[in-house]
Every structure is written in structure tokens, then in C-alpha cells.
Amino acid sequence: MEQLNMFGNTLPGPQLPHELMEYFPGVFGKEESISLMRHFIDNVPWQQRTIAMYGKLMVTPRLTAWYGDAGTGYAFSGTKFDPLPWTKQLQKMRETVEAATNTSFNSVLLNYYRDGNDSVAWHSDDEDELGIKPIIASVSLGQVRRFDVRHKANHQDKYSLDLENGSLLLMKGDMQHDWEHRIAKSTNPLKERINLTFRVINK
């Protein structure tokens, strides 16, 4: 599998080091990715949750679902996620992601972005359950969406990357401690996208 060096391009902002992120395009084939996306859209028990953010209760502008091993409950912005059992499709994806990253994962968060109005605000995945330097593997299915990254201490240090259908973005090291990321809303007409973030929950 050929790895794309995302940090050698000419986009503005600092060159994020290999120690923070790695980008793998085409981990899942184009047709396979679209087939998986359609399956998840039709079969996952999606929920739109209310979370605490910026001191307010907000309805998430996307749909979510949490799967994982027994005992991998996850608390995010005042909301507790209890895991659903792995499905055949998710288990197969986990095996592919683990082989590509040489990392074992025990849970996965699914986010369903229905169109350009769905988004996720600036945040870091730094909850206690994930440990000090969490390794998170993010798989994108469907519509290409822009992934923005900025340094917590200096928002002028920023970077953007288009996450392609079937790609995998590995976040690691001090990424969650020093940086935050988002998927912004878009005024352009966008199709459906599902993002799966494979994680390790410390039981």
C-alpha cells in the first residue's frame, strides 16, 4: 500500500510532522467504499444526540452510532455512548484498518454527514478514556470533505486536507493534546458521507 505524504504539499500553514498524522488513500476501493456507506446508512441505528458544547446544550449537526467491545463505553461532551456489538462489516473494516496501521482498536464511532449542512465543530479527542496520546484511525466513505486542523495555542497555525472516499487518516502522538480539528459546514451541494473513527478505549 502506497502512503501519500500529506505534509509535502503547498497548502498554507505549517508542515505537520509525520509524528502527528499519516494519510493513506485508497485503503478501501471506490466501489467497496460506496457499498459500505449505503449499507451503514440503511442499517445502522443512527441517533442525533444533544451534547454540551461551549457551555450550551446543542443538537449535533450529524448522526452518530458507537460500536465496540464489551466495556468500551465512551463519554463525550456530557453524553454517554454505550457500545453496540460489532457487525460483520465493521469487524472486517477493523481488521483492514489494524493491518494498515499496525494498531489494535476496540471501538469505533460512526458519524453520518447527510449533506453540507452537517458538520463537527473544532474539538480534540482528548477524553480520559482515550489515554494521554491516543491513536485514532479515521476512515472516510462517500463525499470528499475538507478536514481542518489548527494549533490550540496559535490558530494561525493551520492546515487543511481533503479526505477522499476510501481513505484512512491516522492521528497519533501529541495530535489531540496540541491540535484541534473540524469538518466545517459547506454552502456547496454535497452528497452523503460516513466517517468511522477507530479508537482504543482504556477499560
| Top-confidence residue, 59 or 94 | 94
Cα gap 82→107, rounded to integer Å: 11
User: Mind listing the pLDDT tens digit for each residue in 3-27?
Assistant: 333 433 333 344 556 889 999 999 9
pLDDT score recorded for residue 54? 63
On the question of pLDDT at 90 being above 80, the answer is yes
* Long-range contacts of 94-101, Cβ-Cβ distance < 8 Å, separation of 24 or more: 94/198, 96/27, 96/28, 97/27, 97/137, 97/139, 97/168, 97/198, 100/1, 100/24, 100/27, 100/137, 100/168, 101/135, 101/137, 101/168, 101/170
Looking at residue 4, its pLDDT comes to 36
38: phi then psi, degrees, rounded to nearest 5: -60, -40
Residue 8 lies in a domain: no
Q: The CATH number of the domain where 166 resides is what?
A: 2.60.120.590
Check residues 127 and 103 and name the one with the higher pLDDT: 103
pLDDT at 14: 43
Give the pLDDT of residue 16.
56
The pLDDT value recorded for residue 25 is: 93
Would 175 be classed as within a structural domain? yes
C-alpha span between 99 and 166 (Å, rounded): 15
Do the beta carbons of residue 195 and residue 139 sit within 8 Å? yes
Backbone φ/ψ region at 107: left (φ over 0), alpha (ψ -120 to 50), beta: beta
Q: What is the 3-state secondary structure (H, E, C) of 170-184?
A: EECCCHHHHEEEEEC
Number of domains in the chain: 1
Q: pLDDT tens-digit profile of 63-87? A: 999 999 999 988 766 667 789 999 9
Q: Is residue 7 a part of any domain in this protein?
A: no
Interval 135-190: pLDDT, tens: 999 999 999 999 999 999 999 988 889 999 999 999 999 999 999 999 999 999 99
Cα 58 from Cα 69, distance rounded (Å): 28
Q: Return the residue matching grid coordinates 482504556.
A: 202
Give backbone dihedrals phi and psi of 125, rounded to 5 degrees, phi first.
Answer: -90, 80
Is 159 domain-assigned? yes
Instruction: For residue 2, tell me if it sits in a domain.
Output: no
CB neighbour class for 8 (10 Å; exposed up to 12, middle 13-18, buried from 19) = exposed
Between residues 80 and 122, the one the model is more confident about? 122
Task: Tell me whether residue 4 is in a domain.
Answer: no
Q: Which residue, 125, 57, 97, 60, is CA-closest to 198?
A: 97
* Range of the structural domain that residue 155 is part of: 17-199
* Most confident range, picked from 1-10, 45-54, 83-92: 83-92
Higher pLDDT, residue 132 or 143: 143
Identify the residue with better confidence: 129 or 192: 192
Question: Within a domain: residue 195?
Answer: yes
Cα–Cα dist 130/81, whole Å = 14
